[in-house]
Structure 1
């Protein structure tokens, strides 16, 4: 596990813990490592689990999909990010999401239930870890709240502008990269890819944005300009 320490140190779950404490915790929660190839499933909807995952390398998509293959992307997790923790923290909870490798990756599984009972080794850092877990869960709620804000908009244009504006604020810059390719962005915003591409082209022609693949630059304008061009 020592080779994963650089990633683990940067994870909010291990905030405030030194290397020895992190390694002790990994032992406490029965940490295991698996490798997954791109497009393979890590969790499937309908399963239950006591394990939450941490992306040690690569990235994964947290998705919902129906029987006809329609995909709704809830979030994208990069190295250092967690997934599955709300389900792992509630015994017997059935997953209504799936987690799929977006590229070849390594996943560290942690048994959350070991955190929610008295630590068998009475480690002093146990309470720190629980506080960090609460923080991780709270951040996940905020991420989902952002998605609800975007998809709650009435039009494809409004959804795009809501998402791009939020990303600009998050990066503290009008120029930024987004974590999705075009199909993934359409799946995340719950819109048709062709309709989305049309709106992106319109926004470029109207001078609101510049874009190249997953890089966007927003051109500042006032609200009346936006209303005029709708």
Structure 2
């Protein structure tokens, strides 16, 4: 396990690499690999472990009974998923977690994470603080999606999302973590209609794009 990498992740921030190995043992950590499209957690099931992406990426998805899919988030290396459900192990999952590419995941047992060891060591206390911070950030992410999808038109939704990415990445040129279908699912629109609107916006000189690379054209 690359403990130096883990020490740079939000969940293990402030914890030395040499201390992480002992923490992983306490948390019953297990590493697993998944192929593209493979479900890591399925909607309706339960989760007892927090997933931390070591490599690759996963998408957080919701499917209704008619097969309509909504992409809620994309999680990349160093980020975690299912932390809320892992802390509430009897709560059925309302989402599925799916590998967007070949992905390696480190699973950490939430029960052990939330129960400090007998000595209440500083590294374990720091880990709990980091988990709270990560959860707060996830709440903001979900709030942003509601903001992006509250607009009535496809153009307004797309402009809202792209404007946020430009501000977040501090550049009018940036990459997004979604392919075209995932972006359509995230914004809650039809893929063909989204592609058509993007082409119109490029023709009007508002944006330029190549796959998942975008550039905003300011007046």
TM-score (norm 1): 0.92
Assess if the C-alpha contact under 8 Å between 2:61 and 2:70 holds in 1.
Answer: yes
Q: CA deviation at 1:123?
A: 2.4
Among 65, 81, 84, the residue aligned to 2:82: 84
Q: How does 1:29-44 map to 2 (within 5 A)?
A: 29-44=27-42
TM-score (norm 2): 0.96
Q: CA deviation at 1:185?
A: 0.4
Among 111, 121, 124, the residue aligned to 2:122: 124
Assess if the C-alpha contact under 8 Å between 2:41 and 2:98 holds in 1.
Answer: yes
Aligned to 1:113: 111
Aligned to 2:199: 201
Aligned to 2:167: 169
**What is the DSSP-based 3-state SS (H/G/I as helix, E as strand, rest coil) of the residue aligned with 1:12?**
coil
| Higher deviation after alignment, 116-125 or 61-70 | 116-125
**What is the DSSP-based 3-state SS (H/G/I as helix, E as strand, rest coil) of the residue aligned with 2:117?**
coil
Assess if the C-alpha contact under 8 Å between 2:3 and 2:18 holds in 1.
Answer: no
Assess if the C-alpha contact under 8 Å between 2:154 and 2:189 holds in 1.
Answer: yes
Q: CA deviation at 1:21?
A: 1.6
**What is the DSSP-based 3-state SS (H/G/I as helix, E as strand, rest coil) of the residue aligned with 2:122?**
coil
Deviation per residue, 1:143-182 (Å, 9 max, x gap): 1111111011111000000000000001000011111111
Aligned to 1:52: 50
CA distance in 1, matches of 2:126, 2:29: 18
Aligned to 1:225: none
CA distance in 2, matches of 1:69, 1:34: 28
Assess if the C-alpha contact under 8 Å between 2:51 and 2:106 holds in 1.
Answer: yes
> Could you list the runs of 5+ residues in structure 1 that have no partner in the other structure?
222-230
Deviation per residue, 1:28-47 (Å, 9 max, x gap): 11000111111010000111
Aligned to 2:156: 158
**RMSD (Å), alpha carbons:** 1.2
CA distance in 2, matches of 1:42, 1:18: 29
Q: CA deviation at 1:9?
A: 2.0
CA distance in 2, matches of 1:101, 1:6: 24
CA distance in 2, matches of 1:108, 1:115: 14
Assess if the C-alpha contact under 8 Å between 1:41 and 1:98 holds in 2.
Answer: yes
Assess if the C-alpha contact under 8 Å between 1:7 and 1:79 holds in 2.
Answer: no
CA distance in 2, matches of 1:105, 1:84: 16
Among 211, 214, 217, the residue aligned to 2:212: 214
Deviation per residue, 1:168-225 (Å, 9 max, x gap): 001000011111111110011010011111110111111111111111110113xxxx
CA distance in 2, matches of 1:9, 1:210: 37
